[in-house]
Structure 1
Amino acid sequence: MDSKREKDQDTDFTKITAVLLKSRTGEFDLESILFLKLRGLGICDLGCIGECTNLERLDLSGNNITKLVPLSSLRLLIVLNVSANRISNLEAISSCDSLQSLNVAGNLISSIENLHCLQSLRKLENIRLKDNTYNFSNPVCKNTSYRSTLLEMFPNIKVLDGERVVGRGSDLYQLCKDIDDTIKAGLFKNGQLPELPEQWVEDGFWEIKRSNNAIIEEAYKQFNDVLHECRLLNNRAAHIISQTERSLSLKNQPKQYAV
């Protein structure tokens, strides 16, 4: 009986309803919802989400969404994250005039032509179609001219796939990337690992307190998402260093011959 009840509850999440939206946000009116995060709920039908006409930030990542039609009425939407779904067509969000940041990494966007519909979004500054942190991508990213073509299509883009391409920070990003590439090249060339830097700040230094203010609360969530990505990258780096140290250790061991 309990398993059946749990299954029924999971099924309820497959479609976005007014009850789901109100329970998740605590808002009585759908028009009052400004920020909404519905990650990993198995959603495949966006239902009544189009009634949240004042929505500014929306996170639907990690679901089973294939169609974005209900989002066409969200004219005030600024940030949209639909990564890790099954989306192949973005036409519906071409009317989201206020959109500045779009994350569709980990979907089924197959060609550059599928992105032409976004050219009318003049405020769009940040597009992500692949995310190396989570191994998310799209078939279109396999195109060798994918990056240069997108930059030509969207001259106002400042950040592509998490990399700043123009404006403040782009030169710094490229410098850091060049330094990182140089260190990696030197690492394999010299066969030794550089010493890891000591921790610069005390534990808990980056922790911040929650606030009831909706905007600060959303900033808190986004900041912690960035910290989570940094931790994942750190764990991967530590794993690679450990493997390299192990391989170097085995390489430097004297050969033993059976008598």
Structure 2
Amino acid sequence: MENRAEKGEEASENVKITSQLLKAKTGEFDLESILLLKLRGLGISDLGCLGECAGLEWLDLSGNAISHLGPLSSLKALAVLNISSNRVSSLEPLAGCENLQSLNAAGNLLGGVQHLQCLVGLRHLENMRFANPMGRLSNPFCASPGYRAAIAEMFPGVKVIDGERVSGRGSELYQLCKDLDNSLKRFHSPGRAGHAELSGLSKPWVEEGYWDVRPARRSSIVEEAYKQFSEALQECRELSKRADDTISQAERALNIRPDANSYLF
């Protein structure tokens, strides 16, 4: 994976966040009144007075040149943070963001899973992203094949890592699809009977609307947070369709008649 910090991008990367910049972007004259803030791709290298936005709940700092997150430590209300595609090597200041629920830190310089230890006290943290294959973003520690399992063990309350559910509704789907892929590889070899593409006769893998999000409460911050999860949900939908096709092929290859009650593994 390529990190933005490894590409040597040098275009206008000395911007400091000032109260004038924040007021121009939001139209708010009181920094504490700002709830949502999008500062993507502005060449920001210094977070300046961002810590004065005490009421901030949703923050997008992606695509900048940020290496230090110090001012974020005072943002107690922050729930959703996107710092992807920056130059961050330490997440220590985020330990003060006691209400943080979703963190996207893909495309930075985090060297080891142990650098996440500072976040274990965040009781509301549920969604973490450190790699994004679609955007070719990663972190050095993502080169280790077992890093997701290590994160899941370190953060037992986290439900989604890199867009993949590791707990709660949906985790069984991912594991089952992986098992199906491994067990059915022998039927996909050239020349083997049943290798041809077959149309599925099995019933849908999940009921219609299974992946639809039903937030427990409605607010501007939750609305914005669920927009951030859209990519993960799309991956889930694609995986569900792939499971339907795989089960159908397995039934044909094993000469099993489709039975809605037979999907027990």
TM-score by length of structure 2 reads 0.67
Q: CA deviation at 1:170?
A: 1.7
* Match in the other structure for 2:74: 73
Q: CA deviation at 1:25?
A: 1.1
* Match in the other structure for 2:6: none
* Match in the other structure for 1:131: 132
* Match in the other structure for 2:30: 29
The question of 1:45 aligning with 2:46 is answered yes
Return the letter of the residue paired with 1:126: N
RMSD over aligned CA atoms reads 3.3
* Match in the other structure for 2:223: 219
Q: CA deviation at 1:144?
A: 3.4
Q: Which runs of 5+ in 1 are unaligned?
A: 1-9, 196-212, 235-259
Contact 1:187-1:193 within 8 A present in 2 as well: no
What are the equivalent positions in structure 2 for 1:147-186 lying under 5 Å apart? 147-175=148-176
Query: Cα gap change, 1:13/1:180 in structure 2, threshold over 3 Å: closer, same or farther?
Result: farther
Return the letter of the residue paired with 2:46: D
Return the letter of the residue paired with 1:215: S
Of all paired residues, the percent bearing the same amino acid is: 52
Query: Cα gap change, 1:123/1:192 in structure 2, threshold over 3 Å: closer, same or farther?
Result: same
Q: CA deviation at 1:224?
A: 8.3
Return the letter of the residue paired with 1:226: S
What are the equivalent positions in structure 2 for 1:242-257 lying under 5 Å apart? none
SS at 1:84 equivalent? coil
Query: Cα gap change, 1:84/1:192 in structure 2, threshold over 3 Å: closer, same or farther?
Result: farther
- Deviation per CA, 1:212-239: give whole Å up to 9, x if none: x9718x73696388379969xx9xxxxx
**In the aligned structure 2, how far is the partner of 1:159 from the partner of 1:221?**
13
**In the aligned structure 2, how far is the partner of 1:42 from the partner of 1:185?**
51
Q: CA deviation at 1:19?
A: 1.1
Q: Which runs of 5+ in 2 are unaligned?
A: 1-10, 200-217, 239-265
- Deviation per CA, 1:91-133: give whole Å up to 9, x if none: 1111111011111110000012211111111211111111111
Return the letter of the residue paired with 1:139: P
Return the letter of the residue paired with 2:166: V
Contact 1:133-1:229 within 8 A present in 2 as well: no
Query: Cα gap change, 1:12/1:25 in structure 2, threshold over 3 Å: closer, same or farther?
Result: farther
SS at 1:92 equivalent? helix
Q: CA deviation at 1:53?
A: 0.4
* Match in the other structure for 1:17: 18
Q: CA deviation at 1:172?
A: 3.1
Contact 1:187-1:194 within 8 A present in 2 as well: no
**In the aligned structure 1, how far is the partner of 2:185 from the partner of 2:33?**
50
Return the letter of the residue paired with 1:53: A
Return the letter of the residue paired with 1:150: I
Q: CA deviation at 1:194?
A: 7.2
What are the equivalent positions in structure 2 for 1:54-133 lying under 5 Å apart? 54-133=55-134
Return the letter of the residue paired with 1:38: L
Q: CA deviation at 1:151?
A: 1.3
Q: CA deviation at 1:193?
A: 6.4
SS at 1:72 equivalent? helix
**In the aligned structure 2, how far is the partner of 1:88 from the partner of 1:148?**
21
* Match in the other structure for 2:247: none
Structure with the bigger RCO (C-alpha within 8 Å, sep 6+) is 2
What are the equivalent positions in structure 2 for 1:180-259 lying under 5 Å apart? 189=190, 215=220, 219=223, 223=227, 226=230
- Deviation per CA, 1:41-78: give whole Å up to 9, x if none: 11100011000001111110010000000000001111
**In the aligned structure 2, how far is the partner of 1:136 from the partner of 1:62?**
11
When the two structures are aligned, how many residues end up with a matched partner? 207
Return the letter of the residue paired with 2:66: I
